[in-house]
A and B are shown apart, each in its own frame.
Chain A
Amino acid sequence: MIKLLKCEYKKTRRKYILFTALLITIIQLCWALYGNYTEFSIKNGWMMFLYQLPLVNAIFMPLLSIIVSSRLCDMEHKGSMFRKILVIAEKGKIYDAKLIYGFSIIFFCNILNWCVTIIFGYIKGFSGDVPIILYLLYLLFTVVPTFAVYIFQHTISLLFKNQAITFFAGVIGTFCGLFSMFLPQIPILRKSFIWGYYGVLQFVGLFGWTKEERYLNAYFEIMDIDWIFFTILIAICIVMYVIGKKLFCGKEV
């Protein structure tokens, strides 16, 4: 396994995969953090982030997954290299090594993103200290849906030679996820797409906001956390992993 991971690292030379991932993360941070910070938002800054950022994650995390996974798998497809490495190494381990390597990059970006967000909050002078427990939960609820999306992208990137297919599948999924986040009235919608789980696991709500009064009487409040669907999401990850690995191992090249 170590050998395979070492090879993954060596293969990514001149591919700028980490660089691309960091670039996307920087764009995401600019998008998420740039804005007009009113008195209300400084006062409620920490909660406001927990309310707003899942939506930004639902756009950028799947995008990051699409790009990283297809860049990692395309190298083998392009030079018909699967024919060579599938003979040398165990098929299942190749699937795992690529998954671990790719998701490590995504995970690193997630952590970086999370840290910068908190530092930014302090720089802006948000009232009070960061509610660290809530922020750790938020991190968990970002990483796990991203892992689900990554397993999906990873598997189809391995199975299909044409990376345009994986790109479209990923983009369609992302749109379904976003669409479902704008329709909180129909909760089943977001629960039926892995891309919607950024919304399912969002646990801070904005209340008391009206068109006329705007933020005058508005407040953020912690809502119930949907642990059942969090468990279901983990089950989905396991099922996708098992099926994906099986499909990859049965692939003829």
Chain B
Amino acid sequence: MKEIVKTNGLSKRYKDVLSVNSLDMNVKEGHIYGFLGPNGAGKSTTLKMLLDLVKPTAGEIDIFGKRLNSKTRIEILANIGSLIESPSYYGHLTAAENLRILQILLDVSPSNINEVLHIVRLDRQHSKRVSSYSLGMKQRLGLAGALLSFPKLLILDEPTNGLDPAGIQEMRELIRSLPEKYGMTVIVSSHLLSEIDQMADDIGIIANGKMMYQGPLNLLHETDNTKNLEEIFLNLTGKESSL
């Protein structure tokens, strides 16, 4: 199976701290990749490096089989939709006006705007300014922006942040449906293994910048005879922090 994202020895050093420590990440085409780790593990930093928002201090990134650098970045990033940390938006504009700006920049069909607004269920909030949205609604708008071009690769950093239980369930089902419906590959980060459990095909567990486990999710279930998922997760991440 083709690898959509492949990193080799990817590292990021902030002053004296190695926030990401020679990470080898492999994301397969059409899969949902759950990227797990406790707070400060380096998830957001890694995902930002994939988007060329943060420059790695060492290592390489290949996306769609091409090396990510200043020459290829535009070509590669054109096929990635992203939602990093807090959602991005123009507070003084409405959801549709926000998406209109992205639509012009992405050069995609204007009809995509209504389509994605419908997918994230914001189609009835047309005339409201985004600054008056709740966190969950902003998160939905952020997801709409990430989906707008129906990209080959979707990078979602804690997309369920701020959503209510029904919203989390909805988001999970939505993400689950993306590979089949649109042929997307999805990287989704989270603190909770249980949250990822029902949707990911593969997972990578990161703690203190190091990859502790990477592989198919079901293999993790088999190798560890503990039934409780959070226990597995704590075991893996705890090993590192107690060092």
- Chain A contacts to B: CB under 8 angstroms: 3-4, 6-7, 10-11, 13-15, 75, 78-81, 83-90, 250, 252-253
Say which residue of A13, A78, A88, A250 sits within 8 Å of B105 (CB atoms).
A88
| A4/B85 in contact, CB under 8 A | no
Interface locus among B86-94, B211-219, B221-229, B230-238: B86-94
- Chain B contacts to A: CB under 8 angstroms: 48, 51-55, 74, 77-78, 80, 82, 84-86, 88-93, 97, 100-102, 104-107, 130, 145
| B84/A75 in contact, CB under 8 A | no
Chain A residue contacts of B130, Cβ below 8 A = 79
| A13/B97 in contact, CB under 8 A | yes
What 6 A-B pairs have minimum CB-CB distances, sorted nearest first?
Answer: A84-B88, A79-B89, A88-B105, A252-B54, A81-B88, A7-B101
Main secondary structure of the interface of A (DSSP, over half): helix
Say which residue of B51, B85, B93 sits within 8 Å of A87 (CB atoms).
B51
| B93/A11 in contact, CB under 8 A | yes
| B82/A75 in contact, CB under 8 A | no
14 inter-chain pairs at a CB distance below 8 angstroms, sorted by A residue, are: A10-B104, A11-B90, A11-B101, A14-B93, A83-B53, A83-B84, A84-B88, A86-B53, A87-B51, A87-B53, A87-B82, A88-B77, A88-B78, A252-B54
| A3/B105 in contact, CB under 8 A | yes
Q: Most chain-B CB neighbours within 10 Å: which of A78, A86, A252?
A: A252
| A84/B97 in contact, CB under 8 A | no
| B90/A79 in contact, CB under 8 A | yes
Chain A residue contacts of B80, Cβ below 8 A = 87
Chain A residue contacts of B88, Cβ below 8 A = 79-81, 83-84
A250–B54 CA distance with the chains assembled, in angstroms:
9
| A80/B85 in contact, CB under 8 A | yes
